[in-house]
Amino acid sequence: MKQPHQDAAPLLPTPLMQLATGFWSFKTYAGAIDVGLFNLLAGGRELTMEEVSGELGIADRPADLLLAGCASLGLLDKSGSRYRNSELSEEYLVEGRPYYFGGFVRYLDRREYPAWQSIVQALRTNRPLTWTPGTQESLFDTEDSETLQLFWDCMYSISTFTARALATAYDFTRHTRLLDVGGGAGAFPIELCRLFGNLSATVFELPHVCDLARQKITDAKLNETVDTVVGDFIRDPELPRGYDTIILSMILHDWDEQNGRALLRKCRTALPPDGAVLICELLLNDERTGPPAAALMGMNMLVETEGGKNYSAAEYHDWLLEAGFARVEVLPLNAAGANGVVVGHVS
């Protein structure tokens, strides 16, 4: 009888424990934002647990536990008995900072976290949980303007850093006119036009989103370089013409394959012979076994959309060729919103 190797590590349920308690980290993080912990420590302030307790108006015990939890997650640093924001928190979790990330956390906490508690319902019904098809036009059709503002603010922050990653991966000096389809508040055009003086750009979006984009464009002092065009990339039969590159960032994962293929055909029709479409997404591997960020974003599409899912680069490759693009390349990205860009070249 074969004996187990004496040095073999025992199989333990530790990874399962980590998966099961993942929400502890998120809710600690979200709770700290809601009570104003990172704002309290902004600007290099260092406070003791008792001082935090007093200024936030919470008892010593929860203050002690919250500070320990946030320190364990790398959100706070501690020196002696005093806590301060970590570099990451000071940069992204203090309200008023240019790339404030707390809006995204609040959006997840208020809209998606409650819905995810009914994930079995979504698995069994194949219907979204955050809105009701048939009574609403889309997941963005809501009277909760505060939630939508949180969503667009957080998408702008994430997209800014994805745009910067894209700028290092792809050569935009070959293009002059950029169309950002479903471009939200305009992070990609603003960042790319700042980095490439040869570019001008347009955000193609729904009317109320164009309003948000125009404000961001004005704030960036790019009104002469970046503009907006109102439209609906799903319902409109064609996309605007006169652009030699089109960006689809975190767009195709919102839709089923039929709509995705149709949108790529519209892109091909709108582009000139030297044009290209750039698909920025969290891409699944060809075996559809990971990476986790892409696979779990796909699960979130089950919660948030009627037909969306995350796709692999191989799937986009086939869609692009079917749409009439001559060649396809895949470039890696290192960004929160995308791990790769699939480029479809017209020629």
278-303: pLDDT as tens digits: 999 999 999 999 999 999 999 999 99
Mean pLDDT of the chain: 94
Residue 54: pLDDT above 70?
yes
Pick the residue with more confidence: 220 or 5? Answer: 220
Which amino acid is residue 247, in one-letter code? I
DSSP character at residue 155: H
Q: Which residues are catalytic?
A: 253
The CATH classification number of 157-345 equals: 3.40.50.150
Average pLDDT over residues 149-175: 91
* Bridge partners of residue 201, in order along the sequence: 178, 226
- Asked if domains 14-92 and 157-345 share a fold, the reply is no
Residue ranges of the domains in the chain? 14-92, 157-345
Give the separation between CA 122 and CA 303, rounded to whole angstroms. Answer: 7
pLDDT computed for residue 154 by the predictor: 77
Residue with tokens 């600690």: 28
Residue 24: pLDDT above 60?
yes
Q: Does domain 14-92 have CATH number 1.10.10.10?
A: yes
Query: 101-105 contacts: CB < 8 A, separation 24 or more?
Result: 101/154, 101/157, 102/33, 102/38, 103/149, 103/150, 103/151, 103/153, 103/154, 103/157, 104/150, 104/153, 104/154, 104/155, 104/157, 104/158, 105/29, 105/30, 105/33, 105/154
pLDDT computed for residue 139 by the predictor: 66
Residue 166: pLDDT above 90?
yes
pLDDT computed for residue 1 by the predictor: 53
Which amino acid is residue 38, in one-letter code? F
Average pLDDT over residues 164-169: 97
pLDDT computed for residue 4 by the predictor: 55
pLDDT computed for residue 142 by the predictor: 59
**96 is written with which tokens?**
């008023």
Residue 128: pLDDT above 70?
yes
Q: Where are the beta strands (DSSP E) in the chain?
A: 47-48, 76-79, 82-85, 177-181, 200-205, 226-230, 245-249, 276-281, 327-332, 340-345
Average pLDDT over residues 261-286: 98
**338 is written with which tokens?**
């995308």
Residue 7: pLDDT above 80?
no
Cβ contact 283:216 at 8 Å: no
Average pLDDT over residues 92-110: 91
Torsion over CA of 175, 179, 180 and 181, rounded to 10 degrees? Answer: -140
Angle at 319 between CA 313 and CA 347, to 5 degrees: 95
pLDDT computed for residue 151 by the predictor: 78
Cβ contact 347:273 at 8 Å: yes
This prediction has a pTM of 0.92
What confidence category does residue 314 fall into, taking pLDDT thresholds of 50, 70 and 90? very high
